[in-house]
Amino acid sequence: MLQWINKPGKNLKKSATIGGLVLVAVFCLYFAFGRVHEVQAGALSQADPNAELLQGVASIQEPLGLPSTDIRQIAANIIRIALGFVGIVLIVLIMYGGFLWMTAGGNEEQIGKAKKILVNAIIGLIIILSAYAIVLFIMRMLGIGMGGGGTGVLAAPNTQNFRGSGALGRVIKDHYPNRNQTGVPRNTKIVVTFFKPINVSNMASDTNNSGVIGDCLTGGTFNWETSCDKLILSNDLINIQEIIPATTTTGTPTYRQIRGAAFMAASSTDATTGISGIYTFVIRPYDYLGTETEDVKYLIHLGNGIQRDDPDLAKKGVFEANAGSKYYEWTFTCSTELDLSPPYVIDVYPAPKPNKDEYKNTVIQISFNEAMDPIGIQGDFATSTAEGQYFLQNGFIYLKNNNSTRPVGSFNLVNNYQTLEFTPRTWCGVNACGGPIYCMPVCDKAGATCKRDDYELLLRAAATLSTSSFESQPFTGVADICGNALDGNKDGKIDTAPLTEPVFDNQKHADNYWWEFGLVDEMDLIPPVISQTVPGPEAPEVVGDYEWSMWFDKRMRIDPMYTIDIGESPTPDERCACFTQTSSGVCMALPDNQCISDLLWKAPFVTFATDTPPFTKTNMRHGPFLDGRLQYYLPLVSSAVEDAHFNCLFPGQGPVKVPYVTDKASSFCDPANPLTCCINSSDKTFCCNGDDMTNNDNNNDVTRSECKNNLKFPD
């Protein structure tokens, strides 16, 4: 009985073994052969020669009669097919061996033959799986997918849909509307800010006959077409065009230039260099963009006829030094709606009383819920007729203190035009990287004996055209990018305060916004630390639109965030020089007019968390990462980035040096592990990149300078 019971068990085991081998073989066959169709279909969808991404590729390959598929992809397809056929043979052998065994009927010779066939099939299966694993590893190292996660195509460098985009983050500091932004209100203005001052003398006609280019006259009845200078629409300067989609008749999109627009130049002072000039211009179309019935897409073109305001450059174009295209373009899409909602303040710094006093080496920050019009809210404070009161240009911003002098510095609209940041320019110390620290005045009036002072700051809301809408009278106060007046108390009701002095006695109500804060005659010298990054270090398989952000453990200045850069390996130039290879291994290069050296545009957007850490988050808006090939990205956050107290980024505080890239690379500084940082230094001012410089000669300026330069400009 025991033998009889065991016999069926042997047959079941034998059947299960054979069935398992068949399933494994089918699994191998699926990945080696069955996935070919999926991968090839994916390759077709991603490498369509008619797609915008590969238009430049097709223009080269078609005249040469070359295939558009990369040689490595062809090799991968051949290997997949070969493995597939071997898998078919393996399945046939397993099924044949199983058939012999199951029909042996006790014939030991036939059973032995069946076992031999199955053993050889198993050995073949092992060889096939090993070969597949090796080929998969090699192909992925070459940037080619083998199914089950690979893209199946080696993408060429993105050319046509990045037209001039590399200038954003290098030549252009910011602009609104954003690249590819949708849902833009029809009544929006268009704003562009450069890193260097620009010459606007050739960009507009002096329509109002004021003798100044880029201004508006506010006396009498205001009209955008006659009161302001008229923008010269030109591809060499600035052009604004509606994109009309292709139809069966036209076959391609067409472009229609707008009727006209007012041009306004916004003066300001650079927060880092202290150089005054025109960095920003504002364009107000005469007609609302788009229509009431459908979304409309627009193309903005900035040409190299826009000139730097620098006599040493002999009026060279602003894009002259930009690698790649000598222009900049972007698109956005207007909705069918007008923006009639007022802006409001969402965050201020220093924090309002009764919060604790802030240190004197501080900036002032005012963040709004949406982009604001920069006209009239940038610049320096002038002295008011009232004691201890100061105003900004047209009287849109007022400041008051009791025992301190006028703050020397400038307001600039940053953070995609959503944060006003006042940067003082009175030197008061040196930070850990040897850079300057600036301070607000505290108790510096003659005869003042205090150690702290109270400040008040007030934003004056623009006057509205009526009592039923927040649409404002131009140039009468703080307004958003669509011309809606500030709603200081966020109640949705229109209540304009009278314009009378003294300001802080008569205007602290209605839609104006104000707050009080205290400053002490002390300094914060603790450097900030990066506490988290996304993607993390060595993160693999980062897709094109992946978030690129970093968290800091302190309140940060926004203006230095524009220095954050990113390196690429291979570099854009290397990609353009050899974006693919022929079967003989010869590089195929893109022509100069299709190869853009700086493809990855970037611009920061900063948010603050005041309750729990992390305290400041910087999200870098960016162009798509190349996720169709093996490409490395190296974010560069130097010590030019500073906190709200002008302390440089954590290399000044000092993580240990990490030589895995260069001896100037730094790991994160962990405050919980002080042995890796200089946080216990008796003189934090000269703690640099993990070296406690109090052990060196403090008069050794060369050592200090070398450390500072190595941090700011790594090899």
385 inside domain? yes
What tokens appear for 148 in the block?
Answer: 């089950």
For residue 422, pLDDT over 90 is answered with yes
> Which of 138-142, 548-552, 600-604, 629-633 comes out lowest in average pLDDT?
138-142
249-289 pLDDT tens trace: 767 889 999 999 999 999 888 888 888 999 999 999 999 99
Mean pLDDT calculated for residue range 42-56? 34
| Cα gap 454→517, rounded to integer Å | 6
Q: Are residues 355 and 440 in the same domain?
A: yes
Q: Are residues 121 and 60 in the same domain?
A: yes
Q: Are residues 270 and 327 in the same domain?
A: yes
147 inside domain? no
For residue 505, pLDDT over 70 is answered with yes
237 inside domain? yes
Q: Between residues 79 and 356, which one has the greater pLDDT?
A: 356
* % of the chain with per-residue pLDDT over 90: 43
Mean pLDDT calculated for residue range 93-106? 81
Q: Which amino acid type is present at position 3?
A: Q
Residue 80: helix, strand or coil by DSSP? helix
Q: Are residues 281 and 425 in the same domain?
A: no
What tokens appear for 63 in the block?
Answer: 């005249």
The model's confidence at residue 151, banded by pLDDT at 50, 70 and 90, is: very low
Per-residue confidence (pLDDT) for residue 141, from 0 to 100:
56
Sort residue 324 into left (φ over 0), alpha (ψ -120 to 50) or beta: left
> Which of 65-74, 128-137, 437-446, 633-642 comes out lowest in average pLDDT?
65-74
Please state the φ and ψ torsions of residue 190, each to the nearest 5 degrees. -115, 125
487 inside domain? yes
Give me the domain span that covers residue 128: 2-141
Q: Are residues 330 and 366 in the same domain?
A: no
What tokens appear for 145 in the block?
Answer: 């997918």
Q: Are residues 94 and 192 in the same domain?
A: no
What tokens appear for 529 in the block?
Answer: 């630390």
Q: Are residues 355 and 322 in the same domain?
A: no
Comparing C-alpha atoms, which of 454, 394, 435 is closest to residue 527? Answer: 435
95 inside domain? yes
Comparing C-alpha atoms, which of 192, 46, 106 is closest to residue 629? Answer: 46
Q: In terms of pTM, does the model score above 0.85? A: no
187-238 pLDDT tens trace: 999 999 999 999 999 999 999 999 999 999 987 889 999 999 999 999 999 9
**The dihedral sign for the CA sequence 119, 120, 122, 127:** positive
Q: Could you say which of 286, 306, 334 is where a domain stops? A: 334
- Report angle CA 670, 675, 680 to the nearest 5 degrees: 90
Mean pLDDT calculated for residue range 503-513? 88
For residue 657, pLDDT over 50 is answered with no
Beta bridge partners of 122: none
| Cα gap 219→567, rounded to integer Å | 51
Neighbours of 705 (CB within 10 A): 11
387 inside domain? yes
For residue 25, pLDDT over 80 is answered with no
Q: Between residues 358 and 324, which one has the greater pLDDT?
A: 358
CB 213 within 8 A of CB 237: no
Comparing C-alpha atoms, which of 321, 108, 289 is closest to residue 190? Answer: 289
What tokens appear for 475 in the block?
Answer: 């140039």
DSSP per-residue string spanning 424-439: E-EEEEE-TTS-EEEE
> Which of 382-391, 442-451, 698-707 comes out lowest in average pLDDT?
698-707
14 inside domain? yes
In b/e form, how buried is each residue of 477-504, taking b as 16+ CB within 10 angstroms?
bbbbbbbbbbbbbeeeebebbeeeeebb
What tokens appear for 457 in the block?
Answer: 């700051």
Q: Are residues 510 and 558 in the same domain?
A: no
> Which of 12-16, 225-229, 422-426, 503-507 comes out lowest in average pLDDT?
12-16
Comparing C-alpha atoms, which of 653, 685, 679, 675 is closest to residue 666? Answer: 653
Q: Are residues 80 and 170 in the same domain?
A: no
Q: Are residues 564 and 497 in the same domain?
A: no
Q: Could you say which of 313, 334, 355 is where a domain stops? A: 334
CB 53 within 8 A of CB 627: no
Please state the φ and ψ torsions of residue 452, each to the nearest 5 degrees. -150, 160
Neighbours of 627 (CB within 10 A): 14
Q: What is the mean pLDDT of the chain?
A: 77
Taking CA atoms, 195 is separated from 118, 273, 565, in Å, by 72, 11, 14
- Output the CA torsion 495→500→502→507 (10° steps): 0
| Cα gap 346→355, rounded to integer Å | 17
Q: Are residues 227 and 376 in the same domain?
A: no
Q: Which letter does DSSP use for residue 163 in this model? A: T
What tokens appear for 348 in the block?
Answer: 């201020």
| Cα gap 364→374, rounded to integer Å | 17
The model's confidence at residue 690, banded by pLDDT at 50, 70 and 90, is: very low
What tokens appear for 225 in the block?
Answer: 């077409």
Q: Are residues 68 and 41 in the same domain?
A: yes
Per-residue confidence (pLDDT) for residue 364, from 0 to 100:
98
Q: Please give the tally of structural domains in the chain.
A: 4
| Cα gap 561→414, rounded to integer Å | 10
Q: Could you say which of 498, 520, 542 is where a domain stops? A: 520
149 inside domain? no
